[in-house]
């Protein structure tokens, strides 16, 4: 009897334990199913396509050079420098005497030629006097000849007397002709002397080395007491009007996008602000070895530029308003650009046409409009059609990079 009651109680206990154990298992399974069905889509950072001003630039490097350079020197040989009036870094005006050379030898030559000319002038005066005397002689001889002819017709004078008068007249005319030619020769000699004097004066003028234009002295090869020679090169080198430019090399693929007059910002060594400049010249030739072309960027006259220093330029290629997104948002399939647009929490991969690139942004010409939201970093764990939870920078403080 006791055994039957004990067995019945044990069976009831087992049944109760089994039922109690089954209830939590079912509840747990239901909880897991509910949690799985209510899990939120992954959070993805998005950025809004905005209309803004796009400025596209091209960076170039180069050297500061004078816009136009001038040289001052002399073709005299063996002259000694006796004075130096300007040094490197001085501003000069056109016609300023930069250096003076010893002219004592030329002064001596000039004095000799002037004395020779004085002798020539005396000879001219003497020749003119001889001509005047010869003309009187010709007149007297002609008159005597006429009288002899008249007397010979009257049979008063003999033929011999007439011949003598005729010969005397011819001799007088020959003397006059000789005096005239001598005067012409002396006058020509005076012209030669004048030319020689002018040549010496030109050489004397060259002993004063003058500035050919307004400018800034860049280099000085002349030294006090030094002997100059045409083979030594210019004594002074200067930048005309103290104007400087940035000469930069540009890849041949970028040259077609450049034009004279484009704005440029130039960074100079040691200067904490940028200098405004413009493209003044684009070389028509590209170096066959380096495949680079040279451009000249004009700088303002007051720019603190120094010839030979390194400089960097930012050329403004394009400036206009347009809808843009960060470059990091662009996805490429082959060469075709795409943007991952988020609409109603779902990713839609959209083909787009891109335009200018500037400051980490790229213009979207078509495919995406102003105000559309796109995935800030393309291809980050999402694909076309995925559900996502957009995380906006303006609400979270996040910055799309």
CA proximity to 219, closest of 86, 38, 41, 31: 86
CATH number 3.10.20.600 given to 77-101+208-238? no
Stated as kind and residue range, the H or E segment containing 354 is strand 353-358
In whole angstroms, give the CA distance from residue 337 to residue 46. Answer: 18
Could you read off the pLDDT of 218-263 as tens digits, one per residue? 999 999 999 998 888 899 999 999 999 999 999 999 999 999 999 9
Could you read off the pLDDT of 204-219 as tens digits, one per residue? 999 999 999 999 999 9
CB atoms within 10 A of CB 37: 7
In whole angstroms, give the CA distance from residue 188 to residue 184. Answer: 6
List Cβ neighbours of 385 (8 Å cut-off, separation of 6 or more).
346, 347, 348
Indicate the average pLDDT of the chain: 83
Q: What is the pLDDT of residue 38?
A: 56
Output 318 or 113, whichever has higher pLDDT.
113
Model confidence at 37, pLDDT cuts 50, 70, 90, reads: low
* CATH number, domain 43-53+321-396, options 3.40.640.10, 1.10.10.10, 3.40.720.10, 2.40.420.20: 2.40.420.20
Q: What is the CATH number of domain 59-63+242-319?
A: 2.40.30.170
pTM of the predicted model, to two decimals?
0.64
Q: Phi/psi of residue 306, each to 5°?
A: -125, 130
Tokens representing 401? 């990079």
Could you read off the pLDDT of 326-382 as tens digits, one per residue? 888 898 888 899 998 998 888 888 899 998 888 788 889 988 888 888 888 876 678
């Amino acid at each position: 009897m006791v055994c039957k009651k004990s067995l019945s109680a044990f069976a009831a206990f087992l049944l109760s334990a089994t039922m109690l154990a089954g209830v939590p298992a079912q509840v747990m399974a239901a909880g897991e199913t509910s949690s799985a069905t209510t899990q939120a889509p992954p959070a993805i950072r998005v950025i809004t396509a905005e209309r803004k001003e796009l400025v596209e630039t091209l960076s170039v490097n180069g050297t500061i050079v004078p816009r136009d350079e001038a040289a001052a020197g002399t073709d005299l040989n063996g002259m000694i420098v006796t004075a130096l009036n300007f040094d490197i870094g001085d501003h000069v005006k056109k016609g300023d005497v930069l250096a003076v050379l010893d002219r004592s030898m030329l002064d001596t030559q000039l004095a000799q030629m002037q004395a020779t000319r004085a002798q020539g002038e005396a000879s001219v005066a003497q020749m003119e006097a001889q001509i005047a005397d010869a003309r009187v002689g010709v007149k007297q001889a002609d008159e005597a000849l006429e009288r002899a002819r008249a007397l010979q017709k009257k049979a008063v004078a003999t033929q011999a007397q007439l011949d003598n008068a005729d010969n005397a007249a011819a001799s007088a005319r020959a003397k006059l002709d000789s005096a005239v030619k001598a005067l012409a020769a002396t006058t020509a000699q005076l012209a030669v002397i004048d030319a020689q004097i002018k040549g010496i004066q030109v050489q004397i003028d060259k002993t004063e080395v003058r500035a050919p234009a307004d400018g800034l002295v860049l280099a000085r090869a002349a030294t006090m007491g030094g002997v100059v020679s045409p083979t030594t090169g210019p004594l002074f080198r200067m930048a005309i009007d103290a104007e400087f430019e940035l000469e930069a090399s540009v890849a041949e693929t970028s040259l077609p996008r450049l034009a004279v007059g484009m704005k440029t910002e130039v960074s100079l060594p040691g200067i904490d602000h940028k200098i405004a400049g413009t493209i003044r010249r684009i070389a028509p030739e590209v170096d066959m070895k380096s495949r680079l072309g040279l451009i000249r960027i004009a700088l303002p006259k007051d720019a603190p530029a120094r010839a030979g220093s390194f400089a960097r330029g930012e050329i403004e290629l394009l400036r206009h308003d347009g809808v843009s997104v960060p470059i990091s948002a662009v996805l490429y399939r082959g060469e075709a650009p795409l943007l991952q647009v988020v609409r109603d929490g779902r990713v839609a991969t959209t083909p787009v046409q891109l335009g200018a690139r500037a400051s980490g942004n790229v213009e979207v010409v078509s495919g995406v409009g102003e105000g559309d939201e796109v995935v800030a970093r393309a291809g980050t764990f999402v694909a076309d059609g995925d559900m996502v939870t957009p995380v906006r920078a303006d609400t979270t403080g996040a910055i799309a990079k």
